[in-house]
Chains A and B, each alone.
Chain A
Amino acid sequence: MGFDYMKYLREEKMPHIWCPGCGHGIVMKALIRAIDKAGLDQDRVVVVSGIGCVSRMPGYLDFNTLHTTHGRALAFATGVKMADPTLHVIAVMGDGDAVAIGGNHFIHTCRRNIGITTVVANNSIYGMTGGQRSPTTPLGDNTSTTVYGNADPPFDISALAVAAGASYVARTTTYHAQQIERLIVSGFENRGFSLIEVIGPCFVAHGRRNRARYKSNLDMYREEKETAINVTATKGKPQSELMGKVTIGVLHHAPMPEFTDEYQKVIEKATHVRTI
């Protein structure tokens, strides 16, 4: 028998609303498989999202789910984790959600190292609202708000997370579907904040406006395949050879104390003081 996706999907909500060829479905499938692989108890998993196309994911998933407000997935996820640190808390966000409106939550949640596995589906655009430029839109690209080309250089979300102090940072693309699953599983194993950035396509709101590069969504997947380089293969390569490449794999892993563990110590000290 094959994999039983229906165990984890709210079948009555399917098929999902994402456009044909949208990468968000690939991310959802990899997340389901990763949860199954890691053997997490379905009733102890909480999936939290903000607002955006990818943030509709919790609606389709049969776990404890929370669809919150734009940019605030990590704030709500932090509250859930603090209320019960034994829960497996997963946050799903778009690039706009994570590093535009939610940028401040993002860097401080990285720094705090709270046990939240965070999946950012980075499609370089605001998909839901009609293709406005996001902080990860490539320089020069046409979007509905940069009709003469984007003059802003993009954020590297993974590099931002490393700089902000995240203990586990990994990146891949929707083309590399098997790797998404593996990277999420190893993210679960890290005690603390884990970021898995998944670069994906949005032909409808981004690709279509940049026809010189993309005739269809398939060209966006081809680009993911062609530009990706595994982090292990970058060693010793000169910077010039890595220009235009996207490094994939586990980019950073540096275990450190987890926030709810540290906070438990505070609770114990404070309780002790009160009772003497």
Chain B
Amino acid sequence: MKNRKHIVICEDAKTRITINRKWCKGCEICVEFCPQKTLLMEGDKAVVRDIASCNRCMLCELRCPDFAIEVSEGTGR
């Protein structure tokens, strides 16, 4: 089994945001250009500030050069 501790999932009924903390290089692009201010830098890693504010525009995922943040539908769990 691979160690998956560096994969952090934040989820509500509508949205799931997955951040790979090993691959995140802290460039801040996702945080700076999120239209909803959903994300935040914590040290040199991106984290979710407020999942409910996300409108799933996908821009953070598309602009992350490091394949470190992904957005999908929440599973309602």
Spell out A's residues near B (CB within 8 Å): 1-3, 5, 9, 14-16, 18-26, 29-30, 33, 174-175, 177-178, 181, 216-218, 221
Residue B13 at the chain A interface, CB threshold 8 Å: no
* Residues of B with C-beta under 8 A to A5: 67
Question: Would you call B25 and A20 a contact (CB within 8 A)?
Answer: yes
Return the contact of B62 from the options A15, A29, A216 (Cβ within 8 A). Answer: A29
What residue of chain B has the Cβ atom nearest to residue A25's Cβ? B65
**CB-defined contacts of A218 to chain B, threshold 8 Å:** 28-29, 32
Given A1-B72, A177-B59, does the pair A22, B65 have CB atoms closer than 8 Å? yes
Q: Is A26 in contact with B65, judged by CB distance below 8 angstroms?
A: yes
Query: Is B67's CB under 8 angstroms from A29's CB?
Result: yes
CA distance A16 to B25 in the complex (A): 10
Contact partners of A29 in chain B: CB under 8 A: 62, 64-65, 67
Can you list 26 A-B contacts (CB < 8 A)?
A1-B72, A2-B16, A2-B18, A2-B61, A2-B71, A3-B61, A14-B67, A15-B22, A15-B23, A15-B67, A20-B25, A21-B25, A21-B65, A24-B65, A25-B65, A25-B67, A26-B62, A26-B64, A174-B63, A175-B33, A175-B63, A177-B59, A178-B58, A217-B29, A218-B28, A218-B32
Please name all residues of chain A whose beta carbon is closer than 8 Å to the beta carbon of B72 when the two chains form the complex.
1-2
Q: A1 vs B73: C-alpha distance in the bound complex, in angstroms?
A: 7
A-B contact count (CB 8 A): 67
Binding site for A on B (CB under 8 A): 16, 18, 22-23, 25-29, 32-33, 58-59, 61-67, 70-72
Q: Which of B26, B27, B62 contacts A30 (CB 8 A)?
A: B62
Contact of A25 among B32, B64, B70, B71 (CB under 8 A): B64
User: If A2-B72, A14-B23 touch, does A9 touch B29 (CB 8 Å cutoff)?
Assistant: no
B-side contacts of A217, CB under 8 Å: 27, 29
- Chain B residues with Cβ below 8 Å from A25 are 64-67
- A21 & B27 in contact (Cβ 8 Å cutoff): yes
Q: Identify the closest chain B residue to A24 (Cβ).
A: B65
Question: What's the minimum C-beta distance from B20 to chain A, rounded to whole angstroms?
Answer: 9
- What residues of B have a CB within 8 angstroms of the CB of A216 in the complex? 28
Q: A2 vs B15: C-alpha distance in the bound complex, in angstroms?
A: 11
Alpha-carbon distance between A25 and B64 when the two chains are bound, in angstroms: 7
Q: A2-B72, A15-B22 are in contact. Are A178 and B28 (CB under 8 A)?
A: no
Q: How far is the CA of A22 from the CA of B27 in the complex (A)?
A: 9
Residues of A within 8 A of B22 (CB): 15
The distance in angstroms between the C-alpha atoms of A218 and B27, with both chains bound, is 8
Q: Closest CB-CB distance, A129 to chain B, in whole Å? A: 21
Contact B62 A178 (CB under 8 A): yes
A179 to B65, CA, bound (A): 15
Distance between Cα atoms of A218 and B29 in the complex (Å): 7
Given known A-B contacts A2-B72, A177-B59, A178-B62, A21 and B29 have beta carbons under 8 A apart: yes
Nearest A residue to B70 via CB reads A2
Chain B residue with the shortest CB-CB distance to A180: B62
Query: Could you tell me the distance in whole angstroms from the C-beta of B73 to the nearest C-beta in chain A?
Result: 8
Q: Contacts A1-B72, A23-B65, A216-B28 given; 14 further ones with Cβ under 8 A?
A: A2-B72, A3-B61, A14-B67, A15-B25, A15-B66, A18-B65, A20-B27, A21-B25, A21-B27, A21-B65, A25-B65, A217-B29, A218-B32, A221-B32
